[in-house]
């Protein structure tokens, strides 16, 4: 069956957001008297939403104490203030993103973003990135009751686009994208340059690993043609 739509993850797939996320996380840590963490460590905490990022960032502390709900609430407030101040400053599109999105568009495939990032950070970031116009819908971490790896946000995007999940290609960088797509019965591709919580993408259960969104578009069109009756 030909693909009708593509659902793209944001952080680690379309945009490298780690410099800004690291600045905001370390800004929060500084205010709380904690030493800064490396970008690599912070990157391994990205993918399951901002609350999880803050929880894991606060859990990495010299006395090994576990933050309670109040600590996380306070951390989220401080992190949010810092992230709003820098969101998009150093974020860059990965090579091949614009070419890939243009190729999908030229082939008549419809596109939506499905991210675990909250709406308040996603919309201004996409607006600054210059690629917002490619997407008919943006499903964020707080749009549905559950986030990826639950299939709910991907299925919600299908409802908004009025497409059958069997005709959808999901593209992401992490286990959250792979598990969500499989549970939604979608084809899924992984890119190897993102975060995947510090794990190798070759461990993911996906249809293929592609080096860029441009290559993902080539893969989709090849499979599109192969599947024509
Ligand atoms: O955890 C995040 O905030 C990033 O989420 P994403 O990889 O689904 O875009």
How far is the centre of ligand 1, averaged over its atoms, from the C-alpha of 229 (Å)? 37
pLDDT bracket for residue 82 (50, 70, 90): very high
| pLDDT of 223 higher than 90 | no
How far is the centre of ligand 1, averaged over its atoms, from the C-alpha of 91 (Å)? 14
Closest atom of ligand 1 to CA, residue 52: 1
Residue 227: per-residue pLDDT: 46
Question: 1-22 in b/e burial notation, b at 16+ Cβ within 10 A?
Answer: ebbbbbbbbbbbbbbbbbebbb
How far is the centre of ligand 1, averaged over its atoms, from the C-alpha of 203 (Å)? 19
CATH 3.40.605.10 assigned to domain 18-86? The reply is no
Q: What is the pLDDT of residues 29-50, one digit of tens each?
A: 999 999 999 999 999 999 999 9
Same fold, 5-16+91-226 and 18-86: no
Is the CB–ligand 1 distance for residue 10 below 6 Å? yes
Taking each helix axis from N to C terminus, what angle separates 119-129 and 69-86, rounded to the nearest 10 degrees?
20
Rg of the chain on CA atoms, in Å: 18
Strand order in the sheet with 187-190: 137-139, 110-114, 5-8, 168-172, 187-190, 208-209
Q: Which of 15, 57, 117 to mutate to test the pocket of ligand 1 (most atoms within 8 A of CB)?
A: 117
**CA 144, 147, 150 angle in degrees (round to 5)?**
110
Residue 229: per-residue pLDDT: 40
Average model confidence (pLDDT) for the chain?
Answer: 95
Q: What's the average model confidence in pLDDT over 169-183?
A: 98
Q: Assess whether 9 carries a catalytic annotation.
A: yes
Q: What topology does CATH give the domain 5-16+91-226?
A: Rossmann fold (3.40.50)
pLDDT bracket for residue 228 (50, 70, 90): very low
> How large a percentage of the chain has pLDDT more than 90?
94
Q: What's the average model confidence in pLDDT over 8-27?
A: 98
Is the CB–ligand 1 distance for residue 117 below 6 Å? yes
Among candidate residues 127, 187, 121, 192, the one with its CA nearest the CA of residue 158: 187
Q: What is the pLDDT of residues 148-157, one digit of tens each?
A: 999 999 999 9
Is the CB–ligand 1 distance for residue 118 below 6 Å? no
pLDDT bracket for residue 2 (50, 70, 90): confident
pLDDT bracket for residue 3 (50, 70, 90): very high
pTM here is 0.95
Closest atom of ligand 1 to CA, residue 147: 8
Q: Domains of the chain: which residue ranges?
A: 5-16+91-226, 18-86
What's the ipTM? 0.95
Residue 64: per-residue pLDDT: 87
Residue 1: per-residue pLDDT: 64
How far is the centre of ligand 1, averaged over its atoms, from the C-alpha of 192 (Å)? 15
Q: What is the pLDDT of residues 50-73, one digit of tens each?
A: 999 999 999 999 988 999 999 999
| pLDDT of 226 higher than 60 | no
| pLDDT of 136 higher than 70 | yes
Q: Whose Cα sits closest to atom 4 in ligand 1?
A: 47
Closest atom of ligand 1 to CA, residue 148: 8
Is the CB–ligand 1 distance for residue 25 below 6 Å? no
């Amino acid at each position: 069956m030909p693909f009708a739509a593509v659902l793209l993850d944001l952080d680690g797939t379309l945009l490298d957001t780690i410099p800004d996320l690291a600045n905001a996380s370390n800004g929060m840590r500084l205010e709380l008297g904690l030493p800064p963490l490396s970008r690599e460590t912070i990157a391994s905490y990205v993918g399951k939403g901002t609350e999880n990022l803050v929880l894991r960032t606060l859990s990495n502390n010299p006395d090994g104490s576990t933050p309670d709900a109040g600590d996380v609430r306070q951390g989220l407030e401080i992190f949010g203030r810092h992230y709003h101040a820098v969101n998009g400053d150093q974020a860059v599109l990965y090579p091949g993103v614009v070419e890939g999105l243009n190729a999908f568009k030229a082939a008549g495939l419809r596109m939506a973003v499905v991210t675990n990032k909250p709406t308040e950070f996603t919309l201004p970031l996409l607006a600054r990135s210059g690629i917002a116009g490619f997407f008919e819908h943006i499903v964020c971490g707080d749009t549905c009751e559950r986030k990826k790896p639950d299939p709910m946000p991907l299925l919600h995007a299908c409802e908004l686009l009025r497409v059958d999940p069997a005709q959808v290609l999901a593209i992401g960088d992490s286990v959250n994208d792979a598990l969500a797509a499989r549970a939604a019965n979608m084809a899924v591709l992984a890119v190897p340059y993102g975060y995947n919580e510090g794990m190798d993408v070759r461990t993911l259960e996906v249809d293929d690993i592609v080096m860029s969104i441009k290559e993902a578009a080539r893969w989709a069109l090849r499979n599109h043609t192969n599947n024509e009756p």
